[in-house]
Chain A
Amino acid sequence: DAMVIQNPRYQVTQFGKPVTLSCSQTLNHNVMYWYQQKSSQAPKLLFHYYDKDFNNEADTPDNFQSRRPNTSFCFLDIRSPGLGDAAMYLCATSRDGTGLGNTEAFFGQGTRLTVV
């Protein structure tokens, strides 16, 4: 059974047109992450939520925003997508806290974003 679900799997958007990617989880984990993965590169953390607390990475562009209306859902909003934002976007969750079991991340299948 899928535990971290991302929709849609593939998204095509126009240059400059706002787009929202969604992520849901059935694990009841405290932490939800958004990673950007460009072709043949390592995933790069954009931001994460610890419960309702939002934590932005210092180098994440302002063009990227996130919302977490409840424990289960988290959204990635790209306000004005540019060609350079084409990538795979990965959502992940973890229980957090100390201890190895709490730091393991569970990933969704990702949303591949194409900007035309």
Chain B
Amino acid sequence: AQTVTQSQPEMSVQEAETVTLSCTYDTSESDYYLFWYKQPPSRQMILVIRQEAYKQQNATENRFSVNFQKAAKSFSLKISDSQLGDAAMYFCAFISPGGGADGLTFGKGTHLIIQP
């Protein structure tokens, strides 16, 4: 079974600064997908960024980028130029290539606070 660990229950950053959220995972599989989901106070989970394990290039989506270290089983999220609207719970998630068989395995989440 896969496990996902987010070691930072809460992080705080000043508006316009950069913050990095940590995520590690454990799996015996060589191919899989990793995601960061954002859950704002309204509670709808929104996909932020995704990464395929067999791609070495780190995914980037505007101000959001990841540092994917496959050997270390690490998948951190960097948010540049933090904005007030970035305040939310962030969940790191893992899924096997088959997808439907297991669903997403989530970490416990990191509560991100943006200081104005």
Residues of A within 8 A of B (CB): 30-31, 33, 35, 40-43, 45, 48, 50, 55, 88, 90, 92, 94, 96-98, 100, 102-110, 112
CB A1 to nearest CB in B, in angstroms, measures: 13
Task: Determine the main DSSP class of B at the interface with A.
Answer: loop
CB-CB contacts of B79-116 with A at 8 A, as 1s and 0s? 00000000000010001011111111011110000000
- B11 interface contact, C-beta 8 A: no
Known: A31-B100, A92-B103, A105-B103. 19 other contacts (CB 8 A): A30-B100, A43-B91, A43-B104, A43-B106, A50-B100, A55-B101, A92-B104, A96-B98, A96-B99, A98-B99, A100-B33, A102-B99, A103-B97, A105-B95, A107-B44, A107-B45, A109-B44, A110-B43, A110-B44
Contact with B103, one of A45, A97, A104 (Cβ below 8 angstroms) = A45
